[in-house]
Amino acid sequence: MKRQITFLISVFLLLFFSAKSQTEQSNFRLQFVPMFGDSIATTSGIVSAGNNNYHLSKCRFYLSNFQFFDADQKLISTESQAYLLDIEDPQSLIIITTKPKNATYIMFGVGIDSINNVSGAMGGALDPTKGMYWSWQSGYINVKLEGNFNGPHIKKFEYHLGGYAGENACYNTSAFIPISDTLNIGVSLSEFLNLAEAQETFKIMSPSATAAQLSKVFAALFQPLNP
Amino acid sequence: MILGFGALLIAASHTWQSKPLKLTYPDSWPKPAYDTARNPLTEAGVWLGRNLFYDPALSKDNTISCASCHLSFTAFTHVDHALSHGIDDRIGTRNSLVLINLAWNKSFMWDGAVNHLDMQALAPISHPDEMGSSIAEVVEKLAPNPNYKMWCFQAFGDSNLTGEYVLKALAQFQLTLISANSKYDQMQRGEITFSAQETRGYDLFKANCNSCHTEPLFTNGSFQNNGLPLDSLLGDTGRMMVTKNEADNRTFKVPTLRNIEFSKPFMHDGRFESLSQVLKHYQSGIEASSTLAKELEKNIALSETEKIDLISFLLTLSDKEFLFNTAFGYPKKK
């Protein structure tokens, strides 16, 4: 009996404190939407955007270091967690976190920063069993994008973007994105693919200057969608 | 009462903690490069790592363990094979490296392609010519095993084996592979004295070799071209394969010379069978090239007696206690 009372008191205390902390922070839902032009990108079938047709077989990427800013674009808080987003796992495209009450802008890292690339084994989204780590040379693969350009000739593409050292560093931050209570962020894959196709880059499997350049392009694809 | 409940919780959450281990090494040595704060060593962690190291289940066809190429009584290198043999008897392109004093390594592999001891194991596990598996496959295979469940719980307070735990445990075991009790170390501590021949060899070593094979670890961790003619069949350009920088062409990581008596064959491709062949290389075999190390631009002149003196010094780097340490051997079930 005494034990049960203690237990109840503990539960009340717990509820009390968690409720209190929520007055300064509120839950915040971010939905990421990979896009081909105006259509939502999927891995099933061929998608057209403008004059171009694509077949996508893989789209996975890391986001990390979510930062919240106030109306004057002053940093309020940073959340160092990394998330692995995978188009084949719709749940992974939704990030639920807490935001400080006065947050007006958000900015996040696209990829894994250099510190986390040199600090040894890590768990969760960063566990190497997730298949986003090179084995023969240390480093996370920030982005895996694979499929075909279905033009007059079918042309395979395979982009594994990553690398953390020097000029080949592939970690970038997104633009400042104004936020509301929930936020949908589009990821314009067709923009990326059109550019890569135009410069005749079809395959990237290791860190390089091209990987670094295309990583900048990829980080710029994240833009809020009009509701 | 509430306090009591809290204390109980704390006690419960601490029961899994295994005995912490500290790396022991001579006071005069530099601090290890490995940050053990991120992966604190424990008895259970090292035990888990040791079992993984000797477990052939880490390879695709369950035939090859880490120890197949890194045997403890040969300073954890692959004896009698110039190039390491993996699954299906396919031959890798490089000679296996010794696993000695890894806590001080700033980078791993002959070309430094790996930046952290934790991440090193991914390379052999995934390499088609070595173990031919993947870390995801290894975890899937081992996670249901009740022994691994128990050891993982004892090591990390979590019975679900993950990639992170496999890598951290393997690193913990390998960090304990410290060799610091050779004749050379005993001489440094004033416990014994060198013979006249060993002393002459030591002086020759300090004059000609110490700039790269720097005491007390007998490597400075840098990448150098020591003038080996390029093996045209393997075409191994070393560090340049990682940096893609011409200035690194044919440079390789300076290997430690500790226990060198037991780690033949020598060099990244195992081209030399004996220490006298190695000395012959430094004496007259050096090939000039744009990336050749400055110190080696002139051949090292050694008389026949000086060669013998130098070898007698190199033999003082053998550490029997390390080589035959049963704590490093095949784990007999406790």
pLDDT tens-place string over residues B215-268? 999 999 999 999 999 887 788 999 998 888 999 999 999 999 999 998 889 999
**Range 224-253 of B in CB contact (< 8 A) with A:** 242, 244
Q: Measured between CA atoms, how close is B266 to chain A, in angstroms? A: 23
Q: Which residue of B has its CA nearest to A120?
A: B118
Q: Do A123 and B119 touch (CB under 8 A)?
A: no
The residue whose two tokens read 């043999």 is B85
CA distance A208 to chain B (A): 9
Cis, bond preceding B56 (omega within 30 deg of 0) = no
What architecture (CATH level 2) is domain B183-318? Orthogonal Bundle (1.10)
B284's torsion region: left (phi>0), alpha (psi -120 to 50) or beta?
alpha
| Domains B2-179 and B183-318 agree in fold | yes
B7 band by pLDDT with thresholds 50, 70 and 90: very low
Q: How far apart are the first and last CA of chain A?
A: 54
In angstroms, the separation between the Cα of residue A44 and the nearest Cα of chain B is: 26
Whether A9 shows a pLDDT value over 80: the answer reads no
In chain A, where are the structural domains located? 26-224
ipTM here: 0.85
Report pLDDT digits (tens) over A45-82: 888 887 888 999 999 999 999 999 999 999 999 999 99
> Domain extents for chain B?
2-179, 183-318
Q: Tell me the two tokens of residue B74.
A: 């040969």
Instruction: Assign B100 a pLDDT band (cuts: 50, 70, 90).
Output: very high
Residues 6+ apart with CB under 8 A from A123: B162, B163, B164, B165
Q: What is the mean pLDDT of chain A?
A: 88
Q: How far is CA B127 from CA A136, B150, B276, B332, in A?
A: 7, 29, 33, 28
What confidence score (pLDDT) does residue B84 get? 66
Q: Does A116 touch chain B (CB under 8 A)?
A: no
Question: Given a cut of 60, is residue A211 above it in pLDDT?
Answer: yes
Average pLDDT over chain B reads: 89
Give residue B83's pLDDT band: very low, low, confident or very high (50, 70, 90): low
With an 8 Å Cβ cutoff, are A120 and B116 in contact? Answer: yes
Mean predicted confidence (pLDDT) in A119-127? 96
Residue (of A56, A3, A61) closest to A32 by Cα position = A61
Determine the distance in angstroms separating the CA of B188 from the nearest CA of chain A, rounded to an integer: 34
Please report which confidence band the pLDDT of residue A131 belongs to, taking 50, 70 and 90 as the band edges.
very high
Q: Containing H/E element for A78?
A: strand A75-86
Kindly determine whether residue A120 and residue B38, on different chains, have CB atoms separated by under 8 Å.
yes
pLDDT per residue as tens digits for the range A85-122: 999 999 999 999 988 989 999 999 999 999 999 999 99
Q: A12 pLDDT exceeds 60?
A: no
Q: Which CATH class is domain B2-179?
A: mainly alpha
Is residue B8 pLDDT above 50, yes or no? no
What is the distance between the alpha carbons of residues B331 and B44, in angstroms, rounded to a whole number? 13
Residues 70-129 of chain B with CB under 8 A from chain A are 113-119, 122-123, 125-127
Between A205 and A17, whose confidence is greater? A205
pLDDT level of residue B92 (50, 70, 90 thresholds): low
